[in-house]
Structure 1
Amino acid sequence: MTAHGTPSVPFGAAMRKAHFAFAPHYTPLNHGSYGVAPVPVRRAHEALRAEAEGAADPFIALELHGRLAAQRALAANALNCPDVDDLVFVPNATTASDTVLKNIDWQAGDAVLCYEVVYDALRSGLLWLEEKYGVSIHVVKLAWPIPDDDLVEAMVGAARAINAETRPRRRRVRLAIVDTVVSLPGVRVPFERLVPALQAEGALVLVDGAHGVGHVDIDLAALRPDFFLTNLHKWLFVPRGCAAFYVARGRQGLVRSTLPTSFYFAPKGGKSGGEWAEMFDFTGTNDTTNWLCVEAALDFRTNVCGGDAAIKAYCYSVAQASGAAAAKILGTEVMDVAGSCLRDCCFANVRLPLEVGAGKIEPENAGKVTGWLKATGYRESGMYFQTILYRGAWWWRISGMIYVEVEDFERGAEVLRDLCVRAQKGEFLEAA
């Protein structure tokens, strides 16, 4: 066991070699998208799968419920969730958000409030909601980087304006959506301020914490959202896919069914507490042995990495230092603005030296560049660059993690610099 705060081997390339199993040709610069399980956690998962295959009946029918309860308790503790039965496991964040959208009893005049960088899968769920039930989706047009005060003021102001509308009919914000950390561009949101401010306007608040546990500090007892979701397979090191889904006790009657609706649905009314949590334990014969790996992931974080604080401190520092180094190589800048918490996370966004316009990259072709950068970077250099075209500029999202170091991102920036020169000359069109 390592001393508290001290990893058993240094973070960076040494940790990557000692405890992860990446392909030899691959430099992992994009932890934020899918996460990865360390080798000791993978071994624990493999043992669980072997146990399940060795005696499936007792494993699933007799033991799974109790085992899941123990793992849920560990996840609840990591999130400071006061009652374990307010938190359940689902396959991923999208399943959790879709469970909310498909369970609320939507009424005429209901509106959903969000900003334009809401996660794409959740955006698709909102489009379905609009199509199916005619729910009004109100997207607040905000350009990042933005000061926290301006963000909160814009969201609250939009909620008040919607709630004040009477023509052609009375409207209300039924649900508001905020993030802990936005996916693309990778920015932290002042969710601790937004949740109570939007609840004060009468909205239910769904916090998309896909980039939450293991990444930024989460205190559900203090935050008190109506709904909260977070992937355990991204920053906590649980094998894919596993997410925690929290519903406040007073809101559990709204979420009456799982996705898919399964054995424990109550057709005559909603459940709460232990009965509500039980609905999510078994929704069919998917392999959920990875849900039993929370303990193994936490043991790795404590005994190999020196604890949660040490991990977060390194991931933050390597992201910010790498962002600065990459911006210097690329001759650009890191996304930032005064009065914002956007960089208080394990991401950094570096602008790429690409220009859109006449005689440069034509606007109608701009969308092709991002895919070309990703495919070509991986094919030629074993590096996958998570880039986005956002409001007329390309940004590279850098993910800080315990198995990378600044030198990895410096090499990545040099590769990207060459790719940008080639893209500016139109090579991405030749590939297409």
Structure 2
Amino acid sequence: RRQFLGAAGLSSTAAALLPLLKPAGASAALEALAGHPGPADAIAQDESFWFTVQQAFDVDRSLINLNNGGVSPTPAIALQAMQAHWEFANRNPSYNEFRIQALHKEEIRRCLAAAFGCDPEEMAITRNTSESMQIVQCGMELRRGDEVLTTTQDYPRMITTWKQRVRRDGIALSQFSIPTPAEDPEEIVALFKQHLTPRTKAILMCHVNTTTGQILPVQRVVRMAREAGVPVIVDGAHSFGHLDFTLPDLDCDYFGTSLHKWLCAPRGTGFLFVRKDRIRGIWPLLAAPEALDDDIRKFEEVGGHPKAPYLAIAEALTFHQGIGPARKAARLRYLRDRWAQPLTESSRVRFYTSLKPEFSCGIAT
């Protein structure tokens, strides 16, 4: 058990506080995955390797589901862990949840921060991307006449959030369209730069577009925007657990994601990254005490909520790392190309997504 939990970065103290977990099957699966060495592109076509991965999930195979990006099934080890945490909390809720499981959550924060490549004190555990994004969008100090910039292809809920601030606070929303498909990163950067004005106070952009799967040049946009003094909010709903990257590859100011998508964690889990020097400048969605003004945990002040889904993130993260982010991304591209490449030969089909690996991964339209 210590070895298994150690793979997720959990301490032996945390392991001792998880008496209900029985991850022997999970350990066997991870050992089987580790026994398949080789480059990611070669593993992508190794059906014996992916058969082992497949057995970790209990899914309805009577329906062919081509949309796992909205909500992914959770591997059995994470479901079992979540159930164990629920039962443990239920035995003595006031003590077990508030005194013990609250401490476990700090271990999860450290695990996620290590995987993302940030300081744990910059990592808030949330319920989904929408909550993460709206914490920043609604918490920024914006005054009448200030402007925010995004695209017409960004996620509707995020655009709706800006439009509410237009109605409520009198800010201005500027939008433009990205070519589909887009294969020139500098063209995208130039479009963002072209629409910047002296009134622009923030840029919102997707890392991976939810409709087309387009991978956007986040780091290049961030560098351009930083020269103009404009922070960048990155919607990472479809990138974390999907693409092989860490924070230094983006260098953004804010990043939010859902963990029940590509990481396959339990439903209702996500995270928000806020650069340490920007935490004070963002108001939480729900009120937090003044003592937390500089604390990332102020964004987690949502009242009573179960800890079990959050704590089971550890098993989902271990499973993801056992597969290997690069292997996973290569497999997703391989599966995408199995159906997409033959269709490129048809004059009746138009692709809105570039199939070049640097511009898309597991999503194509």
Give the TM-score normalised by structure 1: 0.70
The residue correspondences of 1:13-412 to structure 2 (distance < 5 A) are 15-16=53-54, 18-81=55-118, 83-146=119-182, 147-159=184-196, 162-163=197-198, 172-221=199-248, 223-257=250-284, 259-261=285-287, 264-266=288-290, 271-272=293-294, 276-303=295-322, 305=323, 307-327=324-344, 331-336=348-353, 341-343=358-360, 345-349=361-365
2:48 aligned to which of 10, 23, 26: 10
Instruction: Report the 3-state secondary structure (helix = DSSP H, G, I; strand = E; otherwise coil) of the residue aligned with 1:88.
Output: strand
Following superposition, the deviation at residue 140 of structure 1 comes to: 1.4
Contact 1:173 1:202 in 2 (8 A): no
Are residues 194 and 28 of structure 1, via their aligned partners in 2, closer, same or farther at CA, if it must alter by over 3 Å?
A: same
- SS of alignment partner, residue 238 of structure 1: coil
Q: Is the 8 A contact 2:333 2:357 kept in 1?
A: no
Which has the higher Rg, Structure 1 or Structure 2?
1
Deviation at 1:126, TM superposition (A): 1.0
With 283-292 and 189-198 compared, the bigger mean Cα shift is at 283-292
- How far is 1:256 from its partner? 3.1
Identity among equivalent positions (%) equals: 21
Q: How far does the alpha carbon of each residue in 1:370-419 deviate from its partner, in whole angstroms, 9 at most, with x for none?
A: xxxxxxxxxxxxxxxxxxxxxxxxxxxxxxxxxxxxxxxxxxxxxxxxxx
Equivalent-residue separation in structure 2 for 1:181 and 1:58 (angstroms) = 41
Question: C-alpha separation between the residues in 1 aligned to 2:77 and 2:236?
Answer: 26
Deviation of 1:2 (Å): 2.5
Instruction: Give the secondary structure class of the aligned counterpart of 2:255.
Output: strand
Distance in 2 separating the partners of 1:9 and 1:292? 31
Shift of 1:253: 0.7
Q: How many pairs are equivalent?
A: 326
Aligned partners of 1:324, 1:298: CA distance in 2, in Å? 31
Q: Give the alignment's Cα RMSD to 1 decimal.
A: 2.5
Contact 1:88/1:280 (8 A) holds in 2: yes
1:54–1:122 Cα change, 3 Å: same
Inter-CA distance 302–336: structure 2 relative to 1 (3 Å threshold) = closer
Task: Specify whether residues 280 and 67 from structure 1 end up closer, same or farther in structure 2 by C-alpha distance, changes over 3 A only.
Answer: farther
Distance 1:198 1:33 in 2: 30
In structure 1, the gaps of 5 or more residues are 164-171, 350-432
Other structure's SS at 2:69 match: helix
Verify the 8 A CA contact 2:214 2:354 in the aligned structure 1: no
**Offset of residue 217 of structure 1:** 2.9
Match of 2:10 in 1: none
Runs ≥4 residues deviating over 4 A? 11-15, 326-331, 336-340
Contact 2:242/2:329 (CA < 8 Å) preserved in 1? yes
